[in-house]
């Protein structure tokens, strides 16, 4: 698990390290600049003629220190400072004084096309408003040049909290970020502007007790080893029984993908409750599942109650439609279910405006809305969510006591506690019909094998994206389809099994 921070949190950590731990600011800065110089070499930047573009804050001060180190190593380097001298921070003033002692070249109006490498040290985590004026003109000229661009801490113009472009932003080839990745480097479009991210340890201290409102985490490959170990003497019951209400008249694809993904993730048994018309298609495509069917007349409440009593995990929603029957099934489950419940897709659309009905549910609930569905059930518009994705997801999860998986190119997962997750696996090939159904199946499969709601959700989303990345490597982002993600879950679990 990787710790991620907001811009504000990073500033608090900087101050704590300097003021409470006593490491001088300039020492941190020296390490920051050294790590940038090292990355320039490692990434084989063309250092024939280097421009370091600096702002007046400490990001600019980092830049001046980088220029000094390059100069000392014999590189031809110019420093261009945007902004007024009287806005310099104390560190910036000091760095400029040192650079002047070394007789480094300062230029007033840099012409980006004249350089082979540009180091962007205009704004870091201190960016606080839209970029305009000379800053904007210079950044736009930089983006038009062919120079290779290294961003210091974060590409200037990107919000460290949301990844939004504030007016305009530097398009980097490599970003060296200090201590922890900033949330804005993970969310799009920030992630595209940062391109390759390298995280440098510069000696920042994380106090064991902090009063952050959010502790932001991001799963990594090694977290996949938290998927429960298979018990060698286990039976079908050991690995969990799932009751899934899914599909509607002649719509069986979502039910199939979800049920198949749950079984492929390792669940012991699944029973799908669906419309009579899907009998032939589903029993042919997935004979491994059990089924109960209903027709035009009624939803077969007895069968639902039987399924709920039998199951360890309950799922509702994929491809179910929003008609009266779907509503009756959902409300029967909400009234009678006693086990962890996952609600997806149409199940969520049916809940819009009535979320408070979930308050009485006696076991954990996971909801998996994409942003459109999230907007419908929360009343938060997509634009609003993009302004504060972490805060708004947490607030919603907390309000309704849910584990929320807010699906997007960077899915955010929260159970309302201070720990919140941003997912970084996956690719645009997953924007294909049915990949959300595969996710719901994976999450049910992990719940069935005993993971808590938040572990199943955070790990399952990463697992789903990792399988999607393997599917893209095989079939390409254009051609991969949801079934390919299921195939690759098997490959990942095979590797997990092999390590035991
Ligand atoms: N000692 C420290 O505090 C350390 C700071 N570090 C660096 O310092 C950076 C943070 O430094 P600062 O907090 O000084 O902030 P920045 O250097 O990111 O920028 C803040 C400055 O830019 C101005 N500004 C903000 N938005 C603007 C806009 N749209 N147009 C024009 N001016 C704008 C602010 O008024 C302020 O003067 C980090 O990103 C990192 O690069 C690192 O060297 C590690 C140590
Ligand atoms: N560009 C992307 N990068 C990473 N993951 C993506 C991207 N686009 C979609 N996804 C993932 O694919 C899934 C799509 O789910 P959903 O929108 O419910 O699709 P469907 O309803 O067609 O099954 C989500 O898990 C989402 O996070
Ligand atoms: K920068």
For 253-299, how does the pLDDT look when each residue is reduced to its tens digit (9 = 90+)? 999 999 999 999 999 999 999 999 999 999 999 999 999 999 988 87
Q: Which residues contact 243 (CB under 8 A, 6 or more apart)?
A: 270, 271, 273, 307, 308, 310, 311, 313, 314, 315
Please report the atom of ligand 1 found closest to the CA of residue 152: 41
Q: What is the mean pLDDT of the chain?
A: 96
Cβ–ligand 2 distance for 407 under 6 Å, the answer yes
Mutation probe of ligand 1 site: the residue of 81, 85, 124, 166 with most atoms within 8 A of C-beta:
124
pLDDT of residue 296: 83
Pair 285, 320: CB distance under 8 Å:
no
Cβ–ligand 1 distance for 14 under 6 Å, the answer yes
Q: Is the pTM of this model over 0.90?
A: yes
Instruction: Report the alpha-carbon distance of residue 221 to residue 55 in Å, rounded.
Output: 37
Cβ–ligand 2 distance for 426 under 6 Å, the answer yes
Cβ–ligand 1 distance for 120 under 6 Å, the answer no
Task: Name the helix (H) or strand (E) containing 274.
Answer: strand 269-275
Q: What's the pLDDT tens digit per position in 421-438?
A: 999 999 999 999 999 999
Task: Name the helix (H) or strand (E) containing 406.
Answer: strand 403-406
The DSSP output letter for 299 is: -
Pair 79, 122: CB distance under 8 Å:
no
Nearest ligand to residue 257 Cα: 2
Residue among 445, 450, 389, 447 nearest 421 (CA): 389
Q: Which residues contact 8 (CB under 8 A, 6 or more apart)?
A: 161
Please report the atom of ligand 1 found closest to the CA of residue 33: 43
Q: What's the pLDDT tens digit per position in 324-354?
A: 999 999 999 999 999 999 999 999 999 999 9
Instruction: Report the alpha-carbon distance of residue 158 to residue 130 in Å, rounded.
Output: 10
Q: How far is the CA of 15 from the centre of ligand 2 (A)?
A: 39
Q: How far is the CA of 40 from the centre of ligand 1 (A)?
A: 21
Kindly report the CA angle at 60 between 89 and 16, in degrees rounded to 5? 60
Q: How far is the CA of 265 from the centre of ligand 3 (A)?
A: 42
Cβ–ligand 2 distance for 428 under 6 Å, the answer yes
Please report the atom of ligand 2 found closest to the CA of residue 370: 17
CB contact burial 240-264 (16+ within 10 A = b; e otherwise): bbbbbbbbbeebbbbbbbbbbbbbb
Residue 19 burial (CB count, 10 A): 10
Cβ–ligand 2 distance for 434 under 6 Å, the answer yes
Q: What are the structure tokens assigned to 159, written together?
A: 């919000």
Whole-angstrom distance between the N-terminal and C-terminal Cα of the chain?
A: 20
Query: Closest residue (by CA) to atom 6 of ligand 2?
Result: 409
Q: What's the pLDDT tens digit per position in 99-117?
A: 999 999 999 999 999 999 9
Cβ–ligand 1 distance for 59 under 6 Å, the answer yes
Q: Which residues contact 59 (CB under 8 A, 6 or more apart)?
A: 121, 122, 123, 124, 125, 126, 152, 153, 156
Nearest ligand to residue 427 Cα: 2
Nearest ligand to residue 171 Cα: 3
Pair 278, 255: CB distance under 8 Å:
yes
Cβ–ligand 1 distance for 84 under 6 Å, the answer no
């Amino acid at each position: 698990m990787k710790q991620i921070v907001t811009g504000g949190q990073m500033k608090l950590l900087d101050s704590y390290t300097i003021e409470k731990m006593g490491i001088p600011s300039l020492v941190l800065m020296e390490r920051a600049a050294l790590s940038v110089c090292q990355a320039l070499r490692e990434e084989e930047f063309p250092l024939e003629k280097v421009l370091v573009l600096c702002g007046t804050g400490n990001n600019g001060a980092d830049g001046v220190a980088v220029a000094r180190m390059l100069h000392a190593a014999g590189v031809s380097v110019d420093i261009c400072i945007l902004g007024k001298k009287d806005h310099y921070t104390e560190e910036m003033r000091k760095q400029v004084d040192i650079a002047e002692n070394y007789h480094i070249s300062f230029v007033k109006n840099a012409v980006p096309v004249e350089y082979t490498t540009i180091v962007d040290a205009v704004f870091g985590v201190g960016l606080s408003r839209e970029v305009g004026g000379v800053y904007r003109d210079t950044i736009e000229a930089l983006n038009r040049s062919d120079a290779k661009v290294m961003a210091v801490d974060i590409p200037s113009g990107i919000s460290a909290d949301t990844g939004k472009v504030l007016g305009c932003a530097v398009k980097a080839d490599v970003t060296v970020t200090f201590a922890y990745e900033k949330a804005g480097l993970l969310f799009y479009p920030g992630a595209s502007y940062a391109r390759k991210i390298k995280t440098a340890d510069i000696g920042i201290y994380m106090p064991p007790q902090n009063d952050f409102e959010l502790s932001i985490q991001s799963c990594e490959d090694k977290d996949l080893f938290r998927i429960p170990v298979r018990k060698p003497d286990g039976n079908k019951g050991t690995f969990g029984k799932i009751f899934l209400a899914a599909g509607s008249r002649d719509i069986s694809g979502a039910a199939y993908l979800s049920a198949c993904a749950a079984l492929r993730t390792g669940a012991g048994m699944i029973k799908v409750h669906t419309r009579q018309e899907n009998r032939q298609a589903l029993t042919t495509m997935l004979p491994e599942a059990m089924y109960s069917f209903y027709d035009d007349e009624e939803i077969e409440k007895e069968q639902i109650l039987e399924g709920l009593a039998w199951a360890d995990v309950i799922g509702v929603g994929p491809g179910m439609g929003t008609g009266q029957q779907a509503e009756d099934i959902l409300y029967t489950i909400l009234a009678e279910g006693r086990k962890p419940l996952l609600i997806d897709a149409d199940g969520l659309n049916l809940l819009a405006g009535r979320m408070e009905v979930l308050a009485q549910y006696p076991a954990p609930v996971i909801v998996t809305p994409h942003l459109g569905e999230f907007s419908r059930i929360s009343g938060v518009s997509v634009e609003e969510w993009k302004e504060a994705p972490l805060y708004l997801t947490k607030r919603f999860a907390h309000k309704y006591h849910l584990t929320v998986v807010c699906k997007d190119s960077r899915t955010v997962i929260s159970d309302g506690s201070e720990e919140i997750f941003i997912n970084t696996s996956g690719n645009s090939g997953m924007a294909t019909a049915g990949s959300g159904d595969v996710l719901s199946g994976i999450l049910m499969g992990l719940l069935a094998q005993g993971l808590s709601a938040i572990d199943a959700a955070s790990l399952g989303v990463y697992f789903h994206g990792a399988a999607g990345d393997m599917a893209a490597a095989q079939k390409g982002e254009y051609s991969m389809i949801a079934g390919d993600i299921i195939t690759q879950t098997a490959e990942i679990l095979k590797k997990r099994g092999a390590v035991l």
